[in-house]
Amino acid sequence: MPRVGRYLIYGLLDPRDNSLRYIGKTHKRREWRLAEHIEHAEENDQRPVYKWIRELLEQNLKPIVFIWKRIPADQDWRQAEKDAILFWSTPNKIEFPYTHPPQTTKSETIIINRVKLENATKGG
């Protein structure tokens, strides 16, 4: 898949309750990255995020992918990913429901009701 000239910090939401379950980065289109997550889950990857995605797939559901922030190619995506994970790892400082405005022309407003991150690392 071709790379694009920027990075995206993205989140995966649980469609059942709009809980934020994962933060990651990609240089690919969000739809392609979501498809890769689903592929890893179907291949029985045992990391927590893929166990959660398998649970959704068993219910004929998929995660909702959204863009948290666009990072220009000349900026440090590693720090941006770490900052996003840190932000969402301290939900007592966030007022819920949290309304996240669109970040791209294809994006929609996202409502996040709670956080239950499945990230295995702190990013970067």
Quote the pTM value.
0.91
Which CA distances in Å does 28 have to 9, 38, 84, 95, 123? 11, 15, 18, 30, 17
The answer on pLDDT for 2 being more than 80 is no
Domain ranges of the chain: 6-115
pLDDT tens per residue, range 30-84: 999 999 999 999 999 999 999 999 999 999 999 999 999 999 988 999 999 999 9
